[in-house]
Amino acid sequence: MSDERLAIAGTGAIACGLATVGATLGDVVVFARSDASAERARASVEKQRSKLEDPGPGAVTVTSSWDDLRDATFFVESVAEEPAVKGAVLGHLDTVAGPDAILATTTSSLSVGELALASGRPERFVGLHVFNPVPRMKLVELAFPPQASPDTQQRATALCAALDKTAVVVPDAPGFVVNKLLFPYLFSAVEFAEQHGMRPEDVDECMKLGAGHPMGPLALLDFVGLDVSAAIGREIGAAVPARVEALIAEGALGRKSGRGFYNYG
């Protein structure tokens, strides 16, 4: 069991997905940097909770005041994958968090060790890498900085179990396990389709029906977001296909922008 009180900084798909899952345990507070992102987050959490058979007892409160996060015991930073942005948010969280509180990051590709140092409390810090869509994906990759205390490790593991997730402790290496292995495959699917003039639908159908994947690689890139995918590629040292960069330049970022390899009407 875990009686952590969750606070989440960020309003993207991962932050809102985590808030949705957190509410199956108890109240969750979400920090939004603007009124517009707060509105989007409320709508996203509501939509995600409506898909759950049992959305749980918790209320999700979205706020733009750091002070409203004070009562939490487990703070999760889930903002843009930029070290400076994450570092600034972790600094704010450290000032509002009580001395025993744990700080976490959902980074998918940055160094947990470096973010732990930026947080000011590396002994109570963890990389908590959840997957999209958070309510549906069972895995959490847990990456601890070298300074993480046994109590931090135990509490992070207990929280994952309470959220009904399977935690696997992974090395603090770029991309951890899943992204390091997944993205070279996704990018090679793009290159293959380009090289042979194949339609995204056909490549995706092959991998869905031939390899038993729930989504084909091009649909999955759209789902993750092409900008996020390119950032992951750069962090893990995988060559980002020119076609992905071209789509990003056109503002076609995948599902979230209405167009990527596919059109989302």
Instruction: Give the CA dihedral 252, 254, 255, 259, nearest 10 degrees.
Output: 40
- Please identify, using beta-carbon distances, which residue of 8 and 101 lies nearer to ligand CAA: 8
Burial of 138 (0-12, 13-18, 19+ CB in 10 A): exposed
Which residues are the active-site residues?
108, 129, 141, 179
For residue 185, count other CB atoms closer than 10 A to its CB.
Answer: 14
Does a cis peptide bond (omega within 30 degrees of 0) precede residue 217? no
Q: In the complex, which residues of this chain contact ligand CAA (CB under 6 A)?
A: 48, 51-52, 108, 131-133, 135-137, 179, 214-215, 220, 224, 228
Tokens representing 183 are 């993205």
Q: CB under 8 Å to 225, separation ≥6 — which residues?
A: 13, 253, 254, 255, 256
Nearest-approach distance from CB 140 to ligand CAA, in angstroms: 11
| Smallest gap from residue 108 Cβ to ligand CAA (A) | 3
- When the beta carbons of 68 and 168 are compared against ligand CAA, the nearer one is 168
For ligand CAA, the closer CB: 136 or 199: 136
Rounded (10°) CA dihedral 220, 225, 228, 234: 50
Give me the least distance between CB of 211 and ligand CAA, in Å please: 12
CB of 231 to ligand CAA, least distance (A): 9
Ramachandran region, residue 99 (left: φ > 0; alpha: ψ -120 to 50; beta: rest) = alpha
- Of 86 and 124, the one with the shorter C-beta distance to ligand CAA is 86
Residue whose C-beta lies closest to ligand CAA: 108
In the complex with ligand CAA, the residue whose CB is nearer, 14 or 32, is 14
Distances in whole angstroms, Cα of residue 229 to Cα of each of 151, 185, 217, 245, 247: 33, 12, 12, 10, 12
Chain mean position to CA 64 = 20
Taking the complex as a whole, how short is the minimal distance between the CB of residue 151 and ligand CAA, in angstroms?
A: 27
Strands (E), 134-196: 139-143, 166-169
